[in-house]
Structure 1
């Protein structure tokens, strides 16, 4: 019943984030003073090969991953990847604390049939015991994760064709949450005792996670990202998508772009994040978010950090998962600084080398 890929723990793995615009990879090791960034790579994705985080062209994605394989100069071929989007379901359910693992597995399969809107023979399931339920000590909180087997299989096949073997399949929002400790030093000293929201702003997907006093308490993803900004440039200045994306990255836009395309995108971005925060507060019972960590390529759009601090009234920082790390000699720190916020998911996946946690 359970996919072994979801549980197996490797000694050292490359974290590989397969996105709509690029594949990002991170390799970490562990030294006496903490983690060491051994290598990283980013390789652009052909348009249409991945849509809304679902692989449409396995062969094309495999070719991109093969380029990543050549850039990551290491003998390590084991990898951790992640799934996200509408085909991924995670829920905390409550089970009898006295059940053995075998009994729990059987009971969860029964529960999953009513919780998951897909036939069970089309999904891969995994679960993990969390903690005894505070309200009812006879129950234990159990994290149930499910994803379409087809979605997992496409990723595994693309990784294999690119020269990697897949040892862990994670959930992207959990990978983001796992980087919380890496970024904590960027926030004020009291952050470990506060509510911290993490928002990863990708090309087409926004991942929202929240941690309260160092404990992961919420995650959600939604279809929204920087592609909307690119499409505005396409429409307003009559450029091709590739020209617009290049102009956005290089800042090579007409003088009035701040008023014509940037300000409207800023407005939509604030609305999306405000809505995500409100949904979290409403569903969780918490009353506020104290700090906000933003990451992903869209976090680097001009003025986003300052905008969110001002409009939401929440101290906002652009996340850098390598802020306190040592670097291998080959790492160009200036080049890394330009892309570090885009490597959050890959970094969270690379951390699976050192911990079997669900986040």
Structure 2
């Protein structure tokens, strides 16, 4: 009768990636071998609901999240995590005097934040985490400071509430992507695991790179570049409207010469963006080179993108397979899941916050 009464209950939390073209969601549970995929979903967003990483139609996004809630209804999940990104998010590593408690550290952080953040403090949401003892001065500690415009954070939380879910965590997209590293570790050899790995997520409007070294996210960079540029090239080249261009792109109905006229220039532009970001990482880290690129995001449905990046940058690049070693609920088509898996890295990283 009392069996399990005193065991801690784990709150089920859905990871929800709110992009500019779709909402993607993942729910994990713990299994004997790691994680089990309980449910997964992707629903398109109308154009203009999310612009420059900001939600411009809360109710519209909320209605789409309601579809997620309905699809996940049998799980009983009431909580969700989402993430912010873009210029309204500021990440700094600062060096602080070691103190005895979080309250004292928080007071110091607020003083430092006033000098580091170009917004009034009453307009931002702050969080921090002590990373390690400072390598140069043992009396100091390295502290990760993250600040985001409160309006961005509140918009994510309100969109989840419109969708009948409670916001448990509002994360930063780069760190959510880095957290998903534990799901793709199986794709790396022992030698590759010892080197920095670049997780590269190419969305509709945002390119996000998270470099992970020794299982720690050590570098994050975002660039306003993504599949939307590819779509607009199709619109301009072939006189289509946005809907026609998207459908032609997804269904493979583009003219025969599109590879040379549209696809190749887009791939070149994308690889140059990635190359510059990786050079920035290398320059800031004693020329330490990335040993592997793991590619994810909505643009991974462009055939041959991983090969193009590999050839242009000269670093081995593969598509992310985050669910390959997970257990999967029987109602989910395993083959279809792994065919689309690389598009769910961000949502997966958000869902993993439930087990942190």
Same fold (TM over 0.5): yes
| CA shift for structure 1 position 215 | 2.5
Residue 104 of structure 2 corresponds to 103
Q: Which residue of 1 aligns with 2:5?
A: none
- Please name the residue that 1:3 is paired with: none
Q: How much has 1:99 moved relative to structure 2? A: 4.3
SS in 2 for 1:287: coil
Q: Which residue of 2 aligns with 1:22?
A: 22
Q: Residues 193 and 214 of structure 1 are in contact (CA less than 8 Å); yes or no, is this contact kept in structure 2?
A: no
Q: Is the 8 A contact 1:63 1:161 kept in 2?
A: yes
Secondary structure of the residue that 1:197 maps to in structure 2? strand
Gaps of 5+ in 2: 1-8
| CA deviation map 1:181-201 (0-9, x unaligned) | 210111223222111111100
Please tell me whether residue 328 in structure 1 is matched to residue 318 in structure 2: no
1:83-162 alignment runs, 5 A limit: 83-162=84-163
Maintained 8 Å contact 1:231/1:241: yes
TM-score, normalised via structure 1 length: 0.94
CA displacement at 1:284 relative to structure 2:
2.5
SS at match of 2:147: strand
In the superposition, the TM-score normalised over structure 2's length comes to 0.95
Q: For 2:301 and 2:134, locate their aligned partners in 1 and report how far apart those are by CA, in whole Å.
A: 40
Question: What residue in structure 2 maps to residue 41 of structure 1?
Answer: 41
Displacement of 1:334 after TM fit? Answer: 2.5
- Match of 1:337, SS state, is helix
Between the aligned partners of 1:243 and 1:10, the Cα distance in structure 2 is 45
Structure 1 residue 342, shift from structure 2 partner: 1.1
Contact map agreement 1:10 1:167 (CA 8 A) in 2: no
Establish whether residue 278 from structure 1 lines up as the match of residue 279 from structure 2: yes
Contact 2:13 / 2:354 at 8 angstroms: preserved in 1? yes
| Pairwise CA distance, 1:22 | 0.4
Indicate the structure whose relative CO is greater, using CA pairs within 8 Å and at least 6 residues apart: 1
Q: How many residues align?
A: 347
**How far apart, CA to CA, are the structure 2 residues paired with 1:26 and 1:66?**
14
CA distance 1:124–1:10, shift in 2 (3 Å)? farther
Point out 4+ residue stretches in structure 1 off by more than 3 angstroms: none
- What corresponds to 2:297 in structure 1? 296
* CA distance, structure 2, for counterparts of residue 301 and residue 260 of structure 1: 15
Structure 1 unaligned blocks of 5 or more: 1-8
Q: Secondary structure at the match of 2:20?
A: coil
The Cα shift of 1:300 comes to 2.5
Q: Deviations over 1:195-252 (max 9, x none)?
A: 1111100000011111123222111111110110011001111111011111111211
CA contact (8 A) 2:323 2:341 kept: yes
> Could you say which residue in structure 2 is the equivalent of 1:234?
235
Query: CA 1:332–1:126 in 2, change beyond 3 Å: closer, same or farther?
Result: same
* Cα distance in structure 2, aligned partners of 1:234 and 1:338: 27
CA distance in 1, matches of 2:190, 2:138: 34
